[in-house]
Amino acid sequence: MFVGTQYPIHSDTDYEVLAQLGVNHINGFPPGAAETWNTDVLSRYREKVESYGINVDMVALPIGTKPEDNQSPNIMLGISPDRDREIETCQNIIRACGEAGIPAVKYRLFIIGITRTEARRGRGGALRSSFYYDEIDQHEPPGVWGEVSADEYWERIDYFLERIVPVAEEYGVKLACHPHDPYTPDGYRGVRRVLGTVEGMKKFVQMHESPLHGLNFCQGTVSEMLEDPRREIFDVIRWFGSRNKIFNVHFRNIAGRKLAFEETFPDEGDVDMLQAAWVYKEVGYKGMLMPDHAPKISGENSATVAFAYCYGYIRAVLQSIDALED
């Protein structure tokens, strides 16, 4: 395992900083609109990043629900023929990744975006992204998507996988899907968030079964699905990891539980992150452990500093488990 990141790149200096911090694997951000990511664009991008001693382990497919963000909303809204055109864009990116030597793509099959409530103060006054279900408007109406039942959601997922998995198999590119963040009760904003539970995730990875079809396993998001993440998360890691369904790990901690949690620095949440790393090693996971979100801290370059802290923590955890094994 190794330290990774998906932290946005603002300049070439950011690649230098990542290399200096020992972050040598990334979820990349190729230039231009996703529709332009052909083999040549991705090859040149990979070669540039490699010139800093950093590997591009994956890029993100453009899938979301906001047309203004150019995020292929019709894939999950189920609107054809637009969703077929958007799926074709994803197929083309997968082909280009395979030909350009980028081994994986990550993606989200969200209808509702990431829902949060007012931030809470954590260690030293740092702001923690938080979600307390009893503080939101539980009767907020659906958005442009309307009412979406579980059966309808699964049909849209099946429609997508049926057209994407064969392309991934042809070009040898892993598909890493992020679960729904956070879990919400059935019917919230008109939607049954089928990938917001562990059972839903299990069903998902067994659809269109393939060694290239798995998860961007967000440990923080999965912890947010559990009644007692401090105790339960390790068996969830074992279930997916032992089946080789974990292709990337968002190594994030929380304080709290399902429907009431705060996102913390890795060392101050409820989950024993050293033990979690041991479990990833136990199941044979060999990919990136990366920060996902980090609390907002004070000062200039606060996001960079917060993520740098997380990189150092992950490096220390990995060195610890390697040393103990020896």
- Pick from 22, 163, 43: nearest CA to 96: 43
- Pick from 116, 270, 254: nearest CA to 184: 116
Q: How far apart are CA 56 and CA 33, in angstroms?
A: 18
- Pick from 174, 189, 153, 195: nearest CA to 248: 174
112-164 tens-digit pLDDT: 989 999 999 999 999 999 999 999 999 999 988 999 999 999 999 999 999 99
For the whole prediction, is pTM greater than 0.85?
Answer: yes
272-286 tens-digit pLDDT: 999 999 999 999 999
74-125 tens-digit pLDDT: 999 998 889 999 999 999 999 999 999 999 999 999 999 899 999 999 999 9
Could you tell me the pLDDT band of residue 69, with boundaries at 50, 70 and 90?
A: low
For residues 183-212, give the mean pLDDT.
97
- Pick from 83, 3, 100, 117: nearest CA to 44: 100
Specify the pLDDT at position 322.
85
For residues 195-220, give the mean pLDDT.
98
R_g of the chain computed on alpha carbons? 19
233-274 tens-digit pLDDT: 999 999 999 999 999 999 999 999 999 999 999 999 999 999
Instruction: Specify the CATH number of the domain 2-325.
Output: 3.20.20.150
- Pick from 102, 98, 109, 96: nearest CA to 35: 96
Number of other CB atoms surrounding residue 35 within 10 Å: 15
Q: How far apart are CA 36 and CA 150, in angstroms?
A: 34
**What is the percent of the chain with per-residue pLDDT over 70, rounded to a whole number?**
97
Could you tell me the pLDDT band of residue 72, with boundaries at 50, 70 and 90?
A: confident
Q: What's the mean pLDDT when you consider all of the chain?
A: 95
Contact (Cβ atoms closer than 8 angstroms) between residue 56 and residue 102: yes
Specify the pLDDT at position 79.
83
Specify the pLDDT at position 70.
53
Could you tell me the pLDDT band of residue 68, with boundaries at 50, 70 and 90?
A: very low
Specify the pLDDT at position 323.
77
Could you tell me the pLDDT band of residue 65, with boundaries at 50, 70 and 90?
A: low
For residues 39-45, give the mean pLDDT.
98
Contact (Cβ atoms closer than 8 angstroms) between residue 89 and residue 160: no
Which run of H or of E encompasses 212? none
Specify the pLDDT at position 313.
98
